[in-house]
Amino acid sequence: MKRLLTPELLLLTVLSAVSHFWRLFQPNAVVHRGDLARAVSQVLTRIEIEKPRLAAKWRDPRPRIPDVSPAHLSYPAVARAISSGVMDTLEGGTFQLNRPVSGAEAMQVVDRLEALAGTK
C-alpha cells in the first residue's frame, strides 16, 4: 500500500494549515496556538486514514480545558491536539488560544506529528 502521508506532505499540510497568510507570504506573521491546533487536527485526520487504531485516542476526545469551552469553535481541534499528545496544555491546564507559538514549540509539534505518522 502506498503511503498517503510522506514527510514532505506532512510538512506542507502543517505549513498550509497554519499559514492562511501563505498566499500573501508574510514571514513575520504570528501563528497562535489556536491556529496551530487547527493545523494539527487536519494532519491528524490524514494520519487517521493510515492508522485508524492509533487514532482512537484522539477521535472523540473530551478533555477539560479551563480556558477553552466545549462550545468554542476551536475546542474540537484543541481537544484532538492535546489528546493525541502533539500539543501540551500550559500553566493550570490552560491552552491559551491566542498565545504566539515559539519556533521551538512549532518544531516540537512537527516532530511529534512525524513520530505519529511514522515518517521520522
Summarize pLDDT for 80-92 with one digit per residue, the tens.
Answer: 999 999 999 999 9
Rounded-to-integer distance, Cα 62 and Cα 64, Å: 7
What residues have CB less than 8 Å from 91, skipping those under 6 apart?
Answer: none
In a domain, 22, yes or no: no
In a domain, 19, yes or no: no
In a domain, 24, yes or no: no
Q: How confident is the model at residue 1 (pLDDT cuts 50, 70, 90)?
A: very low
For 76, the domain range is 7-13+30-117
pTM: 0.80
Q: How many domains does the chain have?
A: 1
Summarize pLDDT for 21-53 with one digit per residue, the tens.
Answer: 445 656 677 889 998 999 899 889 888 888 888
